[in-house]
Amino acid sequence: MESVQAIKQRFGIIGNDPKLNRAIEKAIQVAPTDISVLVTGESGVGKESIPKIIHQLSHRKHGKYIAVNCGAIPEGTIDSELFGHEKGAFTGATQTRSGYFEVADGGTIFLDEVGELPLTTQVRLLRVLENGEFIKVGSSKVQKTNVRIVAATNVNMFEAIKKEKFREDLYYRLSTVEINIPPLRERKEDIHLLFRKFASDFALKYKMPTVKLTDDAIDLLQKYRWNGNIRQLRNVAEQASVLEHNRTLNAQALQHYLPSGGSNLPAVISTTKSESDFSSEREILYKVLFDMKSDLNDLKKLTMELMKNGNVKDIQKDHEGLISKIYGNASADENDISDIEDLEVLSIPEKTHEPIDIPEPPMDKYHFAEEIDEEETLSLQDKELELIKKSLERHQGKRKLAAAELGISERTLYRKIKQYDL
């Protein structure tokens, strides 16, 4: 069995942190077996090195090694990519295709960002882990495969399980052995070593002198939070190597390459509070919708009373609170009810003695004590048109007087005249 130091040299791993060494030790120990491994850690910590170590130290090292970024494959095609498909299985499937599990038979598959897999794909993956079986998309034939699965994620799996975004049984099958890679901020002694390695590589690549750091710059480097971990450190080293004329950087010069969001203070994010906020917003939305429904029912009742009784003054007085709530605090005067004109319903003044029968609305929607003649077949629109014509004739076409008699505003009457092309 190779030593940790030999493995680090072989795979180009920089650092002497005890947590990093322990992760490599676990990878060396599980490599000869076929048990599934789950590599956890933040984005950018270098999780992709562990599956390579496991594959190269296993009896599968002569088989295929396939790395799949599950988060980069669209949900609609992930099943086809992993398990293959038959010709004609879906639009665009012009020929049969072998998936990664078929191609990598006898080798190792590394499923990066496994926490992003859709639930339907998780069910298929669970079957592969349990008995090595899978079915191509569009096929009914069960196929066997002999692959070693190593998965990695930067997602909090227990939170994902709690939110039903990841299957609990799949998690326990994947994490037979779990290897955690520590974030860069917990490997303070390794930060300068990594920076020197990156600076040396970029100096060779761009054919320029190597960038070096002063003591205060090293101190700043170690205190920085490094939310992007090794990937972010590598980018900073590359920027400094290319842009700096002075090849020795002090803290002030280095600060220009460090985003202000990387304070060394820990960032506390409460997912529970976020969920509570969403719950509160839902409750507020439900209350608003309930109030709107209640107001709509009141408005229907008011409209029906206007159509049946026609006594605008009494109705305004009885429903003053509702009218004020819906249309504002302004009250209608005796001759103009423009505040409620948007009801689009003609009220009948007391001096109009022509009876109007209105079909009764469904009782499951409106609850009125009065019964309306069910045999009346004329529509409300016809009656409305008839009343407007008679009122205009009675007042020789004077809209203001006709509107007052009909109990509507002159503007509403004008709109009705245009509507009926009078």
Bridge-partner residues for 66, per DSSP?
109
Q: How confident is the model at residue 278 (pLDDT cuts 50, 70, 90)?
A: low
The residue among 375, 343, 381 whose CA lies nearest residue 359 is 375
**CA dist list (Å): 58 to 132, 177, 312:** 19, 15, 90
Asked if 208 and 241 touch (Cβ cutoff 8 Å), the reply is yes
Query: Residue 359 above 70 pLDDT?
Result: no
Residue 326, pLDDT score: 59
Q: Which of the four CATH numbers 3.40.50.300, 3.40.50.720, 3.30.830.10, 2.40.50.140 does domain 4-182 have?
A: 3.40.50.300
Q: What is the mean pLDDT of residues 39-43?
A: 95
Residue 338, pLDDT score: 45
Neighbouring CB atoms inside 10 A of 103's CB total: 14
Q: Is 302 exposed, middle or buried (0-12, 13-18, 19+ CB in 10 A)?
A: buried
Helix (H) or strand (E) holding 217: helix 215-223
How far is 309 from 107, CA to CA, in rounded Å? 85
How far is 145 from 382, CA to CA, in rounded Å? 76
Q: Is 58 helix (H, G, I), strand (E, B) or coil?
A: coil
How far is 199 from 181, CA to CA, in rounded Å? 23
Percentage helix, strand, coil for the chain under 3-state DSSP, each rounded to 5: 50, 10, 40
Length of the chain: 422
Determine the straight-line distance between the first and last CA of the chain, rounded to whole angstroms.
99
Q: How confident is the model at residue 276 (pLDDT cuts 50, 70, 90)?
A: low
DSSP-derived secondary structure letter, 319: T
Q: Is 347 helix (H, G, I), strand (E, B) or coil?
A: coil
Residue 311, pLDDT score: 62
The per-residue pLDDT for range 320-336, each reduced to its tens digit, is: 666 666 555 544 444 44
The residue among 191, 247, 244 whose CA lies nearest residue 219 is 191
* Residue-range domain boundaries for the chain: 4-182, 185-255, 306-420
Q: How confident is the model at residue 239 (pLDDT cuts 50, 70, 90)?
A: very high
How far is 198 from 236, CA to CA, in rounded Å? 9
Tokens 């002694």 sit on residue: 189
Residue 337, pLDDT score: 44
**CA dist list (Å): 404 to 85, 353, 412:** 75, 16, 11
Choice between 339 and 31, residue whose per-residue pLDDT is larger: 31
What are the structure tokens assigned to 221, written together? 């480097």
How far is 287 from 200, CA to CA, in rounded Å? 63
Residue 422, pLDDT score: 75
Asked if 230 and 193 touch (Cβ cutoff 8 Å), the reply is no
Helix (H) or strand (E) holding 301: helix 271-309
Q: How confident is the model at residue 417 (pLDDT cuts 50, 70, 90)?
A: confident
The per-residue pLDDT for range 142-191, each reduced to its tens digit, is: 999 999 999 999 999 999 999 999 999 999 999 999 999 999 999 999 99
> Which amino acid is it at 105?
D
What are the structure tokens assigned to 420, written together? 């009926």
The per-residue pLDDT for range 78-137, each reduced to its tens digit, is: 999 999 999 988 888 889 999 999 999 999 999 999 999 999 999 999 999 999 999 999
> Which CATH architecture group holds 185-255?
Orthogonal Bundle (1.10)
How far is 52 from 65, CA to CA, in rounded Å? 8
Residue 374, pLDDT score: 42
Sign, CA dihedral 405-409-411-417, equals negative
Residue 274, pLDDT score: 52
Query: Residue 358 above 60 pLDDT?
Result: no
Asked if 179 and 49 touch (Cβ cutoff 8 Å), the reply is no
How far is 134 from 149, CA to CA, in rounded Å? 14
Q: How confident is the model at residue 342 (pLDDT cuts 50, 70, 90)?
A: very low
Choice between 240 and 316, residue whose per-residue pLDDT is larger: 240
